[in-house]
Amino acid sequence: MHTDKGRFIALVALTAALLVPGALAAQGTLDADTIVEKANLAAYYAGADGRSEARMRIIDGQGREQRRQFTVLRRNVEEAGDQQFLVVFSQPSDVRGTTFLVHKHTAGDDDRWLYLPGLDLVKRIAAGDKRTSFVGSHYYYEDVSGRRPDEDTHELVGSEDGMFELVHRPRDPSSVEFAEYTTWIDQETFLPMKIEYRNSTGKPIRRVEVKNVETIQGNPTVTASRISDLESGGYTDMQFRYIAYDLGMPEDLFGERSLRSPASEWLQRPEGR
Amino acid sequence: MKEFLLRLSIGRPRLVYLLTFLLVLVTGALMPRIHIDTDPENMLPVDQADRVFHNQVEEWFGLHDAIVVGVVNDGPDGVYTAETLAALHRVSRAILELDGVIRPDLMSLAEADNITQEGPGVLRFEWMMRDAPGTTAQAERIRDAVARLPLVEDTLVSGDGKAAAVYVPIERKDLSYAISREIEALVAEESAAGDWHITGLPVAEDTFGKEMFVQMGISAPLAGLMIFLLMWVFFRNLRLIISPMIVAMGTVIATMGLLIGMGFTVHIMSSMIPIFLMPIAVVDSIHILSEFADHYRQGDDPGKVMKKVVGHLFKPMLFTSLTSAAGFASLLLTPIPPVKVFGAFVAFGILLAFLLTIVFIPAWVVRSSPKSLASLDRLREGADADSALARMLRGVGRFAFSRSGLITTATIIIVAISVAGVLRIQINDNPVRWFKDSHRIRVADAVLNEHFAGTYDAFFVLTHEDPQAWGDFRRAADEALGGAVPPAIAGLLADAPATGELDARLGAIIAMADDLSFDTDDPLLAERLEALMRVAETAQVDARYFQRPEALARIEALQQALADTGLVGKTNALPDVVKVVNRELRSGDDGDYRIPATVPAVAQTLLQYQSSHRPQDLWHMVTPDFTRTAVWLQLTSGDNQDMTRVIEAVDEWLAANPLPENVQGRWAGKTYINVVWQGEMVAGMLDSLMGAFVVVFIMMVLLFRSIPWGIVAMMPLTFTIIGVYGFIGWIGKYYDMPIAVLSSLTLGLSVDFAIHFIQRSRELYRERGSFEAMATAMFEEPARAITRNAIVIALGFTPLFLAPLMPYVTVGGFMASIMVLSGAATLLLLPAVIALGRRVLFRNIKTQGVESHAH
């Protein structure tokens, strides 16, 4: 049932992607909220589901390196709506099998679980602050699953060099560490190509940059990005590989029981890509 | 040389003025380039091993100097009231906005992360105090949370809950004074919430630097003014006594200008150069003026009298200057750079002062009008020769020459008591103690260390380095690959990685093997690459030594041993993090506050810790490759003695529990560095003092061309040094850096009086032809000059007692004691010894009986 719906959405999304040049013609009439909505879709909702293998190099202010490697499985419960994520670690070997499960809700708090094989332990993580580090990297949990567009107000401040430039301000400033941020959104793909967070004095403190975009199964997809902590000088390079969309992931893959032993077929790399 | 200098000074006084003026002008122009340095680290040479290691540790673990801000609320709820926590929150947030603060590393309740249980099986990560609590209930929740976090309790909030602290890491030490001032302004608005205190070594150092600068501008001139007033009392001739002041100021300006101009920083030691040079520069002038006043009659040609006086004094003055300079130059034997600079420039200043005295004072006197010199005549005929001082000194002279047995016995007793005192000397230092007890920094230090586990830091750093690791891996890798190394991976396997880069190299090999194994169509190669990944993973896990439970257990045992000594306020280390996260992951029960049993369990626990708001905090305790870890000790005292006890306790523990193979432990941290330089200083000062003693003795033998006279000349300074340090031992004052350095001043100044006394007594013996005549004459003008000098210098430095910095107060006290002791030793002990040894001492001195009729 869900799978059918997913396929239908995928079809719609694919059609929308093909119609992008047409959408461009109408860009003058796009308001900020619409652009953000489209960017949210482009960045987080490609396909009905998707897999990718992420490799992170976390570099601290002194140039010291840590690596992480994990597979991300994602399934859209509904277009632009709830989503499910399963993140399974493979490197370094001492954290292999560590798994995160997220049920993202557009209304209400997300559900989050954690499995630690070394401690043989499944834990629920209480809804709370999502702006904590993702496994020691410069990414926040919120960067991985997406920030809800309605948490900020959006203002379109420019439209140059094929980019929309928007400034976003948090509705609840006390919940975040930044005062505002600017995104530069590609007018063709609607992928946010650069995000800059500033503190209350207007000083940039954090930057996200997309380093590479590939079109995979018709979906413009970020395959390399960097997030920099401008205060410490550290940064994290993230590389996404072995990406595939619309694999028809079943709902029970994202169930609590899947944490301890996710079906291995979904973790294997797709052949020929 | 003497003749040339005298011709110049008496014959060309205007030229002398011009040259002096030019010297002061040129060197004075260099002074604005001054650069103050108050970092105690600089007590060690830049390449000193402990200092190099300390700096490496700061880099490895991202440690910065921190200002400590504390708030104390003595109410029943302590700081856990909505009001105090809200104030702490506001202050903490406002500090984050200050320039020069390293924001991510600021530690306070408002920036602390918390991990808690939210119902069974549910974990909650959140800020401890994201928003200021509005109610008592919220404040109490924070209290309960703090009690569960050993890294927070007693560090961010005191164990008794009465005080909370904000640790403010700063980019550069020289910003700390400015930042602490800004923080003072912030907390001034929050005084309703409790008493605020600001301390921390960087603040102490920087504040010290600022006040030191002020003291150079206040204490030294004040001492100069005092000396001036005393000279007025003795000479009653304004014009005449201005000249020693010019000599002193000229010497100070030229020496400091040269020091600054040559690019040396002004350290706590060199800031005291003016204060040391002032008395020394004045001493020679007083000798000249004193004798000139005695010989000058109205109508005499001042040039002729001056020639005679200087001719007379040249040799003893040259030798006193040389010996004093040697005393200070001996500081070059210490291994402490600021002390070396201090010694070298004081030695230079002393010789410059001698030169200036010899040329400038006569020039000045020659240029004086006969009218202004006339008052000297009255002085000599009236007050001086018949003053209370003069009468008293005659009495002293009669006593000293006649009761030599009594005096030597008394001296032996005093020396014996002093030696006992010297043996009781407590070697100890703590830069915070350089402030007086009442100084706000001392007060803050006392209050915060009373409440908290301690604001003084030391680090015991453990390093694991297995020299076999790479070789073992390479053999396993060759075996895995079956001899067929794919070109893409060959480079990564070629050479051994540098220290600290093994983990990253293995990570790169794993990633590369992973990519290659997926891309290849050859199943055998894919299999071999898989095998390579496995051996690289094993090597990587093995290399991450401080992730092993047994390694953590050993650190835990060390922490326990340190806690058991009672010498340490608290230790913070990696096991604490692992245990807290393990407890909260499993159940939240105290029974789970322990180190998990396997490496993956530890690694996954730490991965959770890194999923916090402050993942970087982990790297303050361990390096990302887990080959180095630091145990952070919080000490309530920065005293070297206390740190030394901690070091000894750890040494003892290590002797009973040796570290495993390939693991080494080493100390770092400011409190430890202070111990290192003090150790070097004590040993160095002893070398330097012995060196100077020998040099001065040789010079005395050469000057008097007699070994017995040389021995006699050493007596007053020996007596003074033993006496002064014996006194320090008995009153229990710590032997610290200023005290150590003052030994060379003692040596230099007390030998002065002895030289003058012996030189003049030998001359007078020759002139007057008998021991008795000499004894009487010695306690006229020569004794008066020595006494005047002693009084001028002793009293001249009383303004230093008002300084807010202890080293200045110490110098003031020392000057007075040195003058009293060496003056007494010269006027009592020397005559007594000379009387006792007259047969030997005067055996080779022929009386002339010619010149004696001149008067």
**Residue range A255-270, pLDDT digits in tens:** 988 898 888 888 888 7
The reported pLDDT for the residue numbered A10 is: 54
Neighboring chain B residues of A116 at a CB cutoff of 8 Å: 585, 601, 604-605, 608
Q: Closest approach of chain A CAs to the CA of B624, in angstroms?
A: 7
H helices of B35-81, in order, are: 49-60
> Do the Cβ atoms of A128 and B625 come within 8 Å?
no
A-facing residues of B in 70-109 (CB < 8 A) are 97, 103-104
Contacts of B407 (CB under 8 A, 6+ apart): B400, B828, B829, B831, B832
The reported pLDDT for the residue numbered B380 is: 57
Neighboring chain A residues of B620 at a CB cutoff of 8 Å: none
User: Residue B59: which of A62, A66, A91 has the nearest Cβ?
Assistant: A62
Query: Tokens 């009653």 identify what position?
Result: B236
**Burial (CB count <10 Å: 0-12, 13-18, 19+), residue B589:** exposed
> Do the Cβ atoms of B600 and A200 come within 8 Å?
no
Whole-angstrom distance, CA of residue B368 vs CA of residue B622: 75
Neighboring chain A residues of B532 at a CB cutoff of 8 Å: none
Neighboring chain B residues of A134 at a CB cutoff of 8 Å: 611
The reported pLDDT for the residue numbered B138 is: 87
Q: Closest approach of chain A CAs to the CA of B615, in angstroms?
A: 5
Tokens (6 digits) for B292: 């000139």
Whole-angstrom distance, CA of residue B279 vs CA of residue B789: 9
Whole-angstrom distance, CA of residue B786 vs CA of residue B283: 9
Contact between B790 and B283 (Cβ < 8 Å):
no
User: Residue A133: which of B507, B596, B611 has the nearest Cβ?
Assistant: B611
Please tell me if residue B530 touches chain A, with a CB cutoff of 8 Å. no
A-facing residues of B in 624-643 (CB < 8 A) are 624-625
A192: pLDDT strictly greater than 60: yes
Neighboring chain B residues of A126 at a CB cutoff of 8 Å: 118, 122-125
Q: What is the mean pLDDT of each run of 10 residues along chain B (855 residues)?
A: 76 82 86 80 88 93 90 91 92 91 90 83 82 86 89 88 93 86 92 88 79 78 85 82 90 93 86 83 84 80 86 86 88 87 93 92 83 67 66 88 90 94 86 83 88 90 94 93 87 89 92 86 88 94 94 96 91 94 88 94 93 89 95 90 93 94 93 88 82 90 91 91 90 83 77 88 88 88 85 82 83 83 90 88 72 39
Tokens (6 digits) for B396: 């002293």
Tokens (6 digits) for B489: 């991976």
> Do the Cβ atoms of B613 and A131 come within 8 Å?
yes
Whole-angstrom distance, CA of residue B575 vs CA of residue B549: 9
The length of chain A in residues reads 273
> Do the Cβ atoms of B607 and A95 come within 8 Å?
yes
Whole-angstrom distance, CA of residue B680 vs CA of residue B670: 15
Neighboring chain B residues of A141 at a CB cutoff of 8 Å: 611
> Do the Cβ atoms of B124 and A125 come within 8 Å?
yes
A273: pLDDT strictly greater than 50: no
Exposure pattern of B208-236 as b/e (b: 16+ CB <10 Å)?
A: bbebbeebbeebbebbbebbbebbeebbb
Q: Put the strands of the sheet holding B163-169 in their side by side order.
A: B163-169, B66-72, B195-199
Please tell me if residue B612 touches chain A, with a CB cutoff of 8 Å. yes
Please tell me if residue B750 touches chain A, with a CB cutoff of 8 Å. no
Whole-angstrom distance, CA of residue A169 vs CA of residue A180: 5
Helix (H) or strand (E) holding B748: helix B737-768
The reported pLDDT for the residue numbered A20 is: 47
User: Residue A126: which of B118, B602, B611 has the nearest Cβ?
Assistant: B118
Please tell me if residue B611 touches chain A, with a CB cutoff of 8 Å. yes
A-facing residues of B in 676-705 (CB < 8 A) are none
* ipTM, 2 dp: 0.87
Contact between B599 and A117 (Cβ < 8 Å):
no
Neighboring chain A residues of B131 at a CB cutoff of 8 Å: 174
For B645: left if phi > 0, alpha if psi spans -120 to 50, otherwise beta; the answer is alpha
Neighboring chain B residues of A128 at a CB cutoff of 8 Å: 124-126
Query: Tokens 């096991």 identify what position?
Result: B575
The length of chain B in residues reads 855
Q: Which of A88, A111, A116, A232 is the best residue to mutate to test the B interface, defined by the most B CB atoms within 10 Å of its own CB?
A: A116
Helix (H, G, I), strand (E, B) or coil at A219: strand
State the angle between helix axes of B781-796 and B201-235 in degrees (0 to 180), rounded to the nearest 10: 150
Handedness of CA B470, B476, B477, B478 (dihedral sign): positive
> Do the Cβ atoms of A93 and B547 come within 8 Å?
no
Closest-CA residue of chain A to B98: A201
Q: Which amino acid is at B3?
A: E
Helix (H) or strand (E) holding B419: helix B404-423
Model pLDDT for residues A125-175, shown as the tens digit of each residue? 886 778 888 999 999 988 888 888 889 999 999 888 899 999 999 998 888
The reported pLDDT for the residue numbered B208 is: 81
A-facing residues of B in 109-128 (CB < 8 A) are 113, 118, 121-127
Looking at residue B75, the DSSP 8-state letter turns out to be S
Q: Closest approach of chain A CAs to the CA of B492, in angstroms?
A: 16
Please tell me if residue B586 touches chain A, with a CB cutoff of 8 Å. yes
> Do the Cβ atoms of A64 and B624 come within 8 Å?
yes
> Do the Cβ atoms of A65 and B624 come within 8 Å?
yes
A-facing residues of B in 480-519 (CB < 8 A) are 504, 507, 510-511, 514, 518
Whole-angstrom distance, CA of residue B644 vs CA of residue B674: 10
Neighboring chain A residues of B127 at a CB cutoff of 8 Å: 129
Work out how many CB contacts closer than 8 A connect A with B: 133
Contact between B459 and B50 (Cβ < 8 Å):
no
Q: Which amino acid is at A251?
A: E
Q: Put the strands of the sheet holding B570-572 in their side by side order.
A: B570-572, B628-635, B456-464, B663-668
Neighboring chain A residues of B122 at a CB cutoff of 8 Å: 123-126
Tokens (6 digits) for B649: 């306790």
User: Residue B124: which of A94, A98, A126 has the nearest Cβ?
Assistant: A126
Distance of CA B374 to the CA centre of its chain: 50
